[in-house]
């Protein structure tokens, strides 16, 4: 069972993750994923200056100082990038310089002072249920839940109002400028949201979880979809799911809650990296293997179809196939067995022959090849280069493209070498 404290921890983590993941999609698209990490280091001088100005170690002055330095960090990074510095170098230079400045200020002007750096840099999500928001003496729940819920609402509202502008700036800033979008304003508005969201979440969950949620959910969503609106929703869902699952992992292992949430989020990214429908490593390997197998089987059918066209009706065996296609004998035998299993070849004694369905498919492949040769001939390709060029492309020509080639070449009866082009369905 989840107690009240556990429910508030899960809710706070989910709000932080959804808010950071939502903005993180734009950072991933713009290759600024490490900006959150830069802000987490660069806010130190803001904390020290806030203390020197107010002589107070309470959270609010330091929070405001951190936000101002977060905005300044984004401004400096953008200025350096526009000045010709590489994006990753701009981020690295900025956060190391500002963090070092903070260390110098801290050691020179605030040495030995009890600065509450934990309130901004090293927040612990397990303590959020104890810092409640009071209204009229009545507790409304953890302050962190209200703060991060408000930040999530702010981010959704701003992005919703300026969605088209932010979208075109993320994908094509030059085109955005050409159609009249103020790219600089959109950039600084987005960086402002990132800064406020990042610093606002530090107090609740700490820098590590914030940086993880700014990067990992967006990167995960990027692997799973090619549409921005879907990417935003997936990133928020991955972040929230990571918070829920991470809490239970932490409780079962008796470990850091924030660390468990970030680890689970990394696990979701790993699954997407391996099994994403379009970008997954495993998925691509499976697709490539299937493509190689299909190409090999079509090559066998083409060879057998041309053999039949030349009047060779006798059965062929794996050795004939190996010699004809210049393959290794085991590869030829394996391809013939697969085609037999698919009903495109029939066993005849110790050899094989095309079935009726296999012969029809072989004729269609020959037709595709020779139509493409005719198309290349019309484009002015040298005749002795046509076969090799068509051989590379024929496995990727669909039935619709074959029909279009027939029209484009004016329904030829023969290819440029004078070989007959089978009619569709013949």
Dump the DSSP string for 137-165.
TEEEEEHHHHHHHHHHHHHHHHHHHTHHH
Who's near 343: CB < 8 A, 6+ residues apart?
355, 357, 358
- pLDDT at 200 > cutoff 80: no
pLDDT exceeding 90 applies to what percent of the chain?
A: 39
Residue 115 has pLDDT above 70, yes or no: no
Q: Say if residues 229 and 214 touch (Cβ distance below 8 Å).
A: no
pLDDT score at 112: 55
Q: What is the pLDDT of residues 293-308, one digit of tens each?
A: 999 999 999 999 999 8
Q: State mean pLDDT over 106-128.
A: 61
- Local confidence band at 203 (pLDDT 50, 70, 90 cut-offs): low
* pLDDT above 60: residue 116: no
Burial class (CB in 10 A: 0-12, 13-18, 19+), 395: middle
The pLDDT-based confidence of 425 (bands split at 50, 70, 90) is low
What is the model's pLDDT at position 73? 84
* Burial grade of 317 (CB within 10 A; 0-12, 13-18, 19 or more): middle
Please give the CATH topology (third level) of the domain spanning 21-279: ABC transporter involved in vitamin B12 uptake, BtuC (1.10.3470)
Q: Would you say 36 and 198 are in contact if contact means Cβ atoms under 8 Å apart?
A: yes
pLDDT value, residue 123 = 57
So what's the pLDDT on residue 367?
Answer: 92
More confident residue, 82 or 358: 358
More confident residue, 213 or 48: 213
Dihedral, CA of residue 356, residue 362, residue 363 and residue 369, to nearest 10: 170
Task: Give the mean model confidence (pLDDT) for residues 139-156.
Answer: 87
Q: What is the pLDDT confidence band of residue 52, given thresholds at 50, 70 and 90?
A: confident
Fold of the CATH domain 283-354: Arc Repressor Mutant, subunit A (1.10.10)
Q: What is the pLDDT of residue 396?
A: 87
- The region of weakest confidence among 47-51, 74-78, 411-415 is 47-51
Please state the domain extents for the chain: 21-279, 283-354
The neighbour count for residue 117, using CB atoms within 10 Å, is 17
Tokens of 395: 């496995």
Question: Above 90 in pLDDT, residue 155?
Answer: yes
In the predicted structure, residue 390 carries a pLDDT above the cut 50: yes
Cα angle value 127/129/134 (rounded, 5°): 125
Cα-based distances in Å from 299 to 306, 334, 337, 379:
11, 13, 14, 25
Tens digits of residue pLDDT in 11-28: 998 999 999 999 999 999
Mean pLDDT value of segment 245-263: 90
Mean pLDDT of 60-69: 77
Instruction: Look at 93-102, 223-232, 325-334, 365-374 and tell me which has the smallest mean pLDDT.
Output: 93-102
pLDDT confidence of residue 101: 85
Residue 119's pLDDT is 45
Q: What is the mean pLDDT of residues 150-168?
A: 93
Q: Tell whether the model's pLDDT for residue 132 goes beyond 50.
A: yes
Mean pLDDT of all residues in 381-389: 84
């Amino acid at each position: 069972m989840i107690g009240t404290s556990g429910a508030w921890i899960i809710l706070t983590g989910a709000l932080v993750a959804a808010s950071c993941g939502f903005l993180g999609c734009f950072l991933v698209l713009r290759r600024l994923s490490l900006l959150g990490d830069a802000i987490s280091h660069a806010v130190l001088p803001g904390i020290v200056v806030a203390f020197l100005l107010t002589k107070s170690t309470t959270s609010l002055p330091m929070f405001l100082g951190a936000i101002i330095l977060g905005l300044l960090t984004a401004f400096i990074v953008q200025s350096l990038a526009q000045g010709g510095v590489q994006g990753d170098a701009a981020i690295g230079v900025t956060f190391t310089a500002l963090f070092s400045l903070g260390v110098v200020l801290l050691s020179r002007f605030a040495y030995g002072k009890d600065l509450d750096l934990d309130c901004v840099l090293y927040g612990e999500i397990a303590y959020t249920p104890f810092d409640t928001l009071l209204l009229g003496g009545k507790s409304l729940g953890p302050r962190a839940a209200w703060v991060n819920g408000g930040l999530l609402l702010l981010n959704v509202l701003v992005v919703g109002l300026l969605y088209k502008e932010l979208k075109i700036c993320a994908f094509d800033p030059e085109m955005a400028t050409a159609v009249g979008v103020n790219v600089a304003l959109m950039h600084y508005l987005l960086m402002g949201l990132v800064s406020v969201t990042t610093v606002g979440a530090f107090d609740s969950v700490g820098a590590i979880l914030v940086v993880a949620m700014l990067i990992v959910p967006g990167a995960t969503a990027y692997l799973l979809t090619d549409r921005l609106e879907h990417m935003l929703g997936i990133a928020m869902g991955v972040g929230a799911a990571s918070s829920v699952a991470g809490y239970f992992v932490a409780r079962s292992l008796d470990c850091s809650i924030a660390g468990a949430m970030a680890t689970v989020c990394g696990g979701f990214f790993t699954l997407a990296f391996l099994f994403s429908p379009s970008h997954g490593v495993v998925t691509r390997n499976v697709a490539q293997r299937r493509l190689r197998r299909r190409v090999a089987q079509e090559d066998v059918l083409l060879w057998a179809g041309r053999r039949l066209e030349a009047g060779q009706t006798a059965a062929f065996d794996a050795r004939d196939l190996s010699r004809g296609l210049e393959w290794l004998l085991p590869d030829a035998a394996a391809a013939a067995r697969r085609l037999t299993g698919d009903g495109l070849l029939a066993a005849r004694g110790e050899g094989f022959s095309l079935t009726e369905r296999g012969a029809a498919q072989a004729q269609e492949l020959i037709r595709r090849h020779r139509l493409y040769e005719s198309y290349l001939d019309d484009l002015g390709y040298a005749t002795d280069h046509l076969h090799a060029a068509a051989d590379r492309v024929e496995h990727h020509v669909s039935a619709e493209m074959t029909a279009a080639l027939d029209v484009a070449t004016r329904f030829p009866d023969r290819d440029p070498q004078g070989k007959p082009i089978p009619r569709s369905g013949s």
